[in-house]
Structure 1
Amino acid sequence: MATTICFLIWVAFITDSVWTRTVRQVYEVHDPEDFNEQDFDCPRECFCPPSFPTALYCENRGLKEIPAIPSRIWYLYLENNLIETIPEKPFENATQLRWINLNKNKITNDGIERGALSQLKKLLFLFLEDNELEEVPSPLPRSLEQLQLARNKVSRIPQGTFSNLENLTLLDLQHNKLLDNAFQRDTFKGLKNLMQLNMAKNALRNMPPRLPANTMQLFLDNNSIEGIPENYFNVIPKVAFLRLNHNKLSDSGLPSSGFDVSSILDLQLSHNRLTKVPRINAHLQHLHLDHNKIRSK
């Protein structure tokens, strides 16, 4: 029990440390006197709050193009527009950007000019949910800590896409069109600090190969996964939260040791095809097995 409590505290501490560091970097307050008069230029399509001079609000305006971004901007909100392209030019002076929200637009891979994103050397958060992407965009800035790509049409991950993203802690690819052939053994190479990987609601039949060793949260709900390879969890010895709800797991598809993994604290296996309770570890805190075919003896 003491070991479990210590591990829970450790997980909370690590997660909080990453989040706190990022929030501190992103929400650092600036004195208006730090900027000259020219710095306060505001694109006519957007709103620049005087009390928050590093933010630029351009959401819900029917924009088809990204306006020129002033050099003072750290936080850029462009969600829910009609934007199809991300060219380099609007970001020429935007060297301080930490946060870009481009959710709910019409952006395609062909519309992203090569270098438009990778030139943003201080970018931490990139939101591209609900667009028209068919592959993970590349190249991306090495500084990136969170990449949100949910609800696109992603079916491909070009080789080397993640090779330089050693600072990425969260990768969200849920609700896309990923098949097993989207992954190579080195697909996730380079993601040394990844903690959360979300690939729920895709079309996977197998567990993704060679996940980053520091992965703590793995979400694979709503796929068609039928089995888990022997010794699969040896590669991700820190995984604590594992979600495999709404798949096609059967007793014969589980490794001989089942889920007897000391790091797993929360295991979700609801809506599968199990007929018996799988082998688990004494450290497990939460086990979800509803809507299987398990019968009490």
Structure 2
Amino acid sequence: MALFVAVVAMALLGYSSGAPPLDVDPATYDLEIYDVDTFELNSYDYDDLDEEIEVGTVAPPPPAVTQPPPAVLPPDYTPEVTLPPQTTKPPVAATLDFLGPGLFGPQTDLGMPTCLLCVCLSGSVYCDDSDLTDIPPLPKDTTYFYARFNKINEVKNKDFFNLNQLKRIDLTGNQISVLGEDAFRSLPQLQDLLLTDNKVQALPELPVTMRHIDIRNNRLKNAGMHREAFKDMKDLEFLYLSDNKLDYVPGPLPDSLRVLHLQNNNIQSLNQDTFCNSHDINYIRSALEDIRLDGNPVDINLYARAYVCLPRLPVGTQH
């Protein structure tokens, strides 16, 4: 063990003796002992980096562009001028062809479909205050038709032809003086006909499906009405005939009638069968609760038997 310690100590002493002392100038060391090739650092000639560059021949410039000689045109040459295509504004109907036929209803005489001239909504056609002079052709599914406050002066037989779903016609506030004899008769579901504020003198035959008839403020006479015009209308509830030229109450009247307005006519007399049934003393007309006869020359006190079947007396002049 002592021998091993002595060997290690001698090795350390030898290593220490081989290292140069720290206070020795490194410049005094001989570089040869480090196996380094000595050379002069400043002896390198940097001019050797310059290389001779041989300048070759410069590429020739591109050839000059020469203009072709002008073309010689014949004396009679006329240049062709292409004009842009002229665009003309097509009619409204033509611009809507791409949307499919019938989308806006049938074509009218005014150059546009009915449903652009009017408003069509879920079977209802609204043509109010549209300066119409004629009833426009209507879509086949029309159920309610309104053409109030226009300038229509006639209802022709063909105006409502083949409109099997039509239930209401409102032509209030026009200038209608003529109603075609077959204008309404062929309408299987017609219930309401409103012709207030026109010039109607004669009423054509109406379908028995009627529920509401309003012909106030016209020129209607008894001579212009069919005999027993309302008798078979089992659903008729409202009959407005005021402000006309009637001479008597048009009867017989259906039992379904609830309201009868005849004021401001020329009615002068009544009879026992006007409202009641002289052959059946037990007959009661319970539905008819509103009768207006005021504004007529008839004295209602003279015809007491005409009211015995009614739930209330009519309104009228009592002399």
Contact in 2 for aligned 1:144/1:168 (Cα 8 Å):
yes
Hey, what does 1:164 align to over in structure 2? 232
Q: Helix, strand or coil: the match of 1:231?
A: helix
Contact in 2 for aligned 1:84/1:106 (Cα 8 Å):
yes
Structure 1: stretches of 5+ with no match in the other structure: 1-35, 251-297
| CA pair 39-197 structure 1, distance change in 2 beyond 3 A | farther
Query: Where do 1:136-285 residues align within 5 Å?
Result: 137-156=203-222, 157-179=225-247, 182-183=248-249, 187-189=250-252, 191-207=254-270, 210-211=274-275, 213=285, 214-226=287-299, 227-234=301-308, 236-237=309-310, 239-240=311-312, 242-244=314-316, 247=317, 249-250=318-319
| CA pair 205-160 structure 1, distance change in 2 beyond 3 A | closer
Hey, what does 1:273 align to over in structure 2? none
**2:117, 2:167 → 1: CA distance?**
18
* 1:241 Cα offset (Å): 6.4
Higher Cα Rg, which structure: 2
**1:233, 1:94 → 2: CA distance?**
41
CA deviations over 1:169-200 (Å, ceiling 9, x no partner): 11000111222xx45xxx42252311110001
Residue identity matched to 2:214? Q
**TM-score, length-normalised on structure 2?**
0.57
**2:125, 2:228 → 1: CA distance?**
32
**2:128, 2:153 → 1: CA distance?**
14
Q: Helix, strand or coil: the match of 1:171?
A: strand
Contact in 2 for aligned 1:175/1:200 (Cα 8 Å):
yes
| CA pair 134-89 structure 1, distance change in 2 beyond 3 A | closer
| CA pair 126-113 structure 1, distance change in 2 beyond 3 A | same
Identity across the alignment (%): 22
Residue identity matched to 2:130? R
* 1:215 Cα offset (Å): 1.9
| CA pair 194-37 structure 1, distance change in 2 beyond 3 A | farther
* 1:201 Cα offset (Å): 1.4
Structure 2: stretches of 5+ with no match in the other structure: 1-99, 106-112, 277-284
Specify which of 123, 128, 132 is matched with residue 63 of structure 1: 132
**1:72, 1:37 → 2: CA distance?**
15
RMSD, aligned α-carbons:
2.4
Hey, what does 1:101 align to over in structure 2? 170
**TM-score, length-normalised on structure 1?**
0.61
Contact in 1 for aligned 2:205/2:226 (Cα 8 Å):
no
Q: Helix, strand or coil: the match of 2:239?
A: strand
Q: Helix, strand or coil: the match of 1:197?
A: strand
Q: Which has the higher contact order (CA 8 A, sep 6+)?
A: 1
Hey, what does 1:284 align to over in structure 2? none
Asked if 1:46 is matched to 2:117, the reply is yes
Hey, what does 2:189 align to over in structure 1? 122
Q: How many residue pairs end up in the alignment?
A: 200
| CA pair 39-159 structure 1, distance change in 2 beyond 3 A | farther
